[in-house]
Amino acid sequence: MSTSFNYPDAVSIVEVGPRDGLQNESAPLATEDKVALVEGLVAAGLGYVETGSFVNPRWIPQMADSGDVFQQIKRAPDVTYAALTPNLKGFERAMEANASEVAVFAAASESFSQRNINCSIEESIARFLPVMEAAKTAGVRVRGYVSCVLGCPYEGQIEPPAVLAVSQALLDMGCYEVSLGDTIGTGTPGSMDRLLETLVPTLSARRLALHCHNSYGQALANILVGLQHGITRIDSSVAGLGGCPYAAGASGNVATEDVVYMLQGMGIDTGVNLDALIDVGRSCCKKLGRETQSAVAKARS
């Protein structure tokens, strides 16, 4: 059996640690430590860093200082410093903070949408219209997240047509890319393969990214399936920030170190210096008082 894929020469890593990661950590990180984290990640070669979120701080106090983080970071050229913006107010704050681009989010599961953002999937899409309009006027790119693409804590398995519908809606309203989130990490190469067999022919691999959680240890295998489908944009989080694996329903993001190690081993360029990245993760974990969730970082310690 031949396995000669046309693997890509290069993959872009979307580093989500400073936002998606820290938002789901119980321990807070000081603003200056967040700034050091973002700058360290960029120095290690990451070209896209989700830097913060402009949401109501009553909902997500961990991100209350995102404006300060954006103001204080020393920026490198050609690096994308992105912000999550749930509504027009958030978008305006992101623009004041000089975010390079913004992101909106929807779910592929109706129950998850209702419980997580208090509205239906359709309503959530409609709510983002003002953000999309304002971003278009400002000439700012918008990324779309879809959560629960392979499983939902309330509904169990999610079928590909549901993911296709919401992904198509986000692209139609102006998102340049949709990041497919296996939010609870229950996906396998089987369900990922079925999902991408449905999505890629319609939406095209170049408009899709994968956002895998490693709760069930499946993330790298699922990402490998994505690469085999032609996907070249991978979300990951330094040190696997974003969920304690020892808690019930744990849902840590796949560790950037582990993704980079795999891609390097496959001869795929990421632009990332793995040793420098491991140091950045180690330093952040020390400040958080938690253990890294990167297998590579553990093995190299």
* C-alpha 282 chain-centroid distance: 20
Closest distance between a copy of itself and the C-beta of residue 259, in Å? 9
Enumerate the β-bridge partners of residue 101: 82
- For β-strands 12-15 and 177-182, DSSP reports them as unpaired
- 299 contributes a contact to a copy of itself by CB under 8 A: yes
Candidates 81-89, 90-98, 106-114, 244-252; binding stretch for a copy of itself (CB under 8 A): 244-252
Alpha carbons 67 and 53: distance in angstroms, whole number: 9
Q: Which of 148, 244, 284, 285 is catalytic?
A: 244
- 203 contributes a contact to a copy of itself by CB under 8 A: no
**Alpha helix positions (H), 22-172:** 22-23, 31-43, 66-72, 88-96, 110-117, 121-127, 129-138, 160-172
Q: Which of 41, 55, 83, 196 binds a copy of itself (CB under 8 A)?
A: 196
218-237 binders of a copy of itself (CB under 8 A) = 218, 220-221, 223-225, 228-230
Please provide residue 232's backbone torsions phi and psi, each rounded to the nearest 5 degrees: -125, 10
Judged by CB under 8 A, the number of residues near a copy of itself is 47
Q: Which of 217, 271, 275, 286 binds a copy of itself (CB under 8 A)?
A: 217
What the block records as the tokens of 34 is 């967040």
C-alpha to C-alpha distances, 175 to 55, 135, 136, 139, 284, nearest whole angstrom = 19, 10, 10, 12, 31
Binding-residue pattern over the window 153 to 192 for a copy of itself, x denoting contact by CB under 8 A = --------------------------------x-xxxxx-
Contacts of 43 (CB under 8 A, 6+ apart): 76, 276, 280
- 205 contributes a contact to a copy of itself by CB under 8 A: yes
Which residues of the shown chain bind a copy of itself in the complex (CB under 8 A)?
1, 3, 5-6, 185, 187-191, 193, 196-197, 200, 205, 214-218, 220-221, 223-225, 228-230, 245-246, 248-250, 255, 258, 261-262, 264-267, 294-296, 298-299, 301
Residues annotated as catalytic are 244
